[in-house]
Amino acid sequence: MGQSLLIRNADILVTMDPERREIRGGGLYAEDGVIRRVGPSDTLPHSAETIIDAAGHIVLPGFINTHHHLNQTLTRNLPAAQDNNLFPWLAAHYRIWARTTPEASRASTLVGLAELALSGCTTAFDHSYVFKSGNKVDYQIEAARDLGMRFHASRGSMSLGESRGGLPPDDCVEDEDFILEDSIRVIDRYHDAGHGAMTRVVLAPCSPFSVSEDLLRESARLARDKGVMLHTHLCETLDEERYTLERFGKRPVEWMGTLDWLGPDVWFAHAVHVDDEEIATFAQTQCGAAHCPCSNMRLASGIAPIKKYMAAGIRVGLGVDGSASNDSSNMLLEARQAMLLARLRLGLLPPEGPRKHFLMSPSHPMRQAEWMTAREALELATLGGARVLGRDDIGSLEPGKCADFFTLDLNTLAFAGGLHDPVAAVVFCAPHAARTVVVGGQIIVSDGAIARMDMRPVIEEHNRWSMRLIRGD
């Protein structure tokens, strides 16, 4: 028998298995980071090398973050960008991000991943695309390993500077030949396609307005040759839509289709401004979407039609997005906002026609089509994220899946009066820190604190780097 772990006596254990079982008095038993048995605690083995008593707690599958920019923790709450939408917000940040050193990148990755872990996240995808000042994705991968987080790293890129019609300054972009060469290096060194992989690599050119058509085509070709996934921002704002219409004569989705960027190995961040035909295109080509409700609200980008995506069978997960366009890395908060924002979208539909009287009738087709429940939001954060990242080994608690889960203490102020339905309370009530977080059978959060390192000196170093970068020292 390999290294074993037993969690038992949970007030309720949420499996997200095909039957969507919610087991009272539940638990699970795992060996070598893989779940072997799930069920009522009295049906599980009585001993293991590590035993967690979850009495008074709810246990959920680890959340999966499908879109983030970890280095942006260094520029949270930047005064020059507090009240801008996307394009001027980016313009205020580009040169600061380009000054990010390897040391600053490591500190920011540790801070962002620790914040995610404390909100129940066990797998994170990061979309880094500014690699200047000696910074490389290697430093992020090493930081994720030190913390114990399951990590999908991107070799992102920007190559189209202002002089060639792009948005970023010329001194913030890279040579395309070097980008492709370094992409090969990173994939060959770090990508693990196996079951339970802790590290995977994604190729992720930044956006339609910061990379060339050639780089998009070559990145797609390389990704498929190497068997890795593709990711970029798309349909985030109306500014982006105007950019592709004016420059290429096509809306963003149609334009990406001409570059071989539609398929089951692709997912897009935001996907806010789409019509029904484009939703059908996503469904037919099996593209995925990362829904980033907090960032979309912060930058006034719009409300993504997530329930339409779900109804069409499109893979949808949640993303906290940039720590400078969300200013937080909290997956519990993101799940709550996804639920609330879907309901707001319903309330903004035209008052006449099919919407008339729907609010008084839960069975009204329009209400059913747009309304999001708490359990649907939790599914986006777990199984939805796993599907978006192309993984069948995480996202639920069932035999054969990775032992990735977290617990929340139900006996807290945040849940007081809300325990008639503890599962829904996770989303409806105020988000608070996970008590225990386990990734691959290893404890990374214990008693509400990061287990593998003292975060105090990391935070101090991170704040020093943040001030230096913003001052331009």
For residue range 398-433, list pLDDT tens digits in order.
999 999 999 999 999 999 999 999 999 999 999 989
Q: State the pLDDT at residue 311.
A: 95
Q: pLDDT tier at 245 (50, 70, 90 boundaries)?
A: very high
At residue 332, does pLDDT exceed 90?
Answer: yes
pLDDT digits (tens, 9 = 90+) for 283-304: 999 999 999 999 999 999 999 9
Q: pLDDT tier at 374 (50, 70, 90 boundaries)?
A: very high
Q: State the pLDDT at residue 362.
A: 58
Say what the pTM is.
0.96
Q: For 48-52, 126-130, 214-218, 357-361, which range has the lowest pLDDT when averaged over its residues?
A: 357-361
At residue 29, does pLDDT exceed 70?
Answer: yes
At residue 174, does pLDDT exceed 60?
Answer: yes
Domains observed in the chain: 4-60+399-448 (2.30.40.10), 63-385 (3.20.20.140)
Q: 328 and 118 in contact (C-beta within 8 Å)?
A: no
Q: State the pLDDT at residue 364.
A: 58
At residue 370, does pLDDT exceed 80?
Answer: no
Q: pLDDT tier at 345 (50, 70, 90 boundaries)?
A: confident
CA distance 445 to 450: 5
For the residues of 91-116, what is the DSSP string, one character each?
Answer: HHHHHHHHT--HHHHHHHHHHHHHHH
Q: pLDDT tier at 347 (50, 70, 90 boundaries)?
A: confident
Alpha carbons within 13 angstroms on the beta-carbon side of residue 465 total 25
b vs e for 179-189, b when ≥16 Cβ sit within 10 Å of the residue's Cβ? bbebbeebbee
Alpha carbons within 13 angstroms on the beta-carbon side of residue 163 total 5
> What value does the mean pLDDT take over residues 116-132?
98
Amino acid 433 reads A
Q: State the pLDDT at residue 367.
A: 61
- With H, G, I as helix, E, B as strand and everything else as coil, classify residue 318: strand
Please report how the helices 176-190 and 137-147 are oriented relative to each other, as an axis angle in degrees rounded to 10.
Answer: 30
Can you name the residues that pair with 316 across neighbouring β-strands? Answer: 289
Kindly tell me the burial class for residue 353, based on how many C-beta atoms sit within 10 Å of its own C-beta (0-12, 13-18, 19 or more).
Answer: exposed
Q: State the pLDDT at residue 280.
A: 98
pLDDT digits (tens, 9 = 90+) for 301-325: 999 999 999 999 999 999 999 889 9
pLDDT digits (tens, 9 = 90+) for 195-225: 999 999 999 999 999 999 999 999 999 999 9
Q: pLDDT tier at 30 (50, 70, 90 boundaries)?
A: very high
Q: State the pLDDT at residue 368.
A: 60
At residue 351, does pLDDT exceed 70?
Answer: no
Q: 271 and 312 in contact (C-beta within 8 Å)?
A: no
Mean pLDDT of the chain: 95
